[in-house]
């Protein structure tokens, strides 16, 4: 199911002028996208049936977050894109920074997420 949402987000990113590629089935970060004028972003895609939050749990999820955090420490723009599949805003995406100032990812609450462009432009500075 996650691959479906990765492809959905890639389609949206391309519509916004990004060149985007999906790293399929890798247990690595999911999407690398670059915009000719606005820069590059790395996105880890998650989905949840929980109406209010998504948790980093399990070995693979924790390793992905550690990889994302390491890249953020090196100055890369890294986001988690969480697609909530239930609740009052079903089907909406929320984006969360992975940044040196925010090492603990869990839980990612719906109300704390941002739209893609707000998260992209913010660069983790809250």
d(CA 79, CA 85): 19
35: tokens are 């915009």
- The pTM of this model reads 0.81
User: Is the model's pLDDT at 96 over the cut of 50?
Assistant: yes
CATH of the domain at 86: 3.40.1350.10
User: Is the model's pLDDT at 52 over the cut of 60?
Assistant: yes
Q: Vertex 38, ends 32 and 39: CA angle to 5°?
A: 40
Find the domain containing 118 and state its range.
2-122
User: Is the model's pLDDT at 37 over the cut of 90?
Assistant: yes
Q: Give the total number of structural domains in the chain.
A: 1
Among 53, 51, 49, residue whose Cα is nearest residue 80: 53
């Amino acid at each position: 199911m996650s691959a479906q949402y990765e492809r959905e987000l890639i389609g949206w990113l391309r519509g916004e002028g990004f060149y985007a590629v999906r790293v399929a089935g890798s247990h690595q970060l999911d999407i690398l996208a670059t915009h000719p004028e606005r820069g590059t972003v790395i996105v880890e895609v998650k989905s949840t049936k929980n109406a209010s939050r998504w948790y980093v749990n399990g070995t693979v999820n924790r390793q992905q977050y550690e990889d994302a955090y390491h890249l953020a420490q090196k100055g890369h723009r890294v986001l988690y894109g969480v697609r909530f599949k239930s609740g009052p805003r079903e089907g909406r995406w929320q984006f969360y920074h992975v940044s040196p100032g925010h090492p603990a990812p869990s839980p990612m609450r719906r109300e704390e997420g941002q739209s893609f462009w707000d998260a992209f432009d913010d660069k983790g500075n809250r």
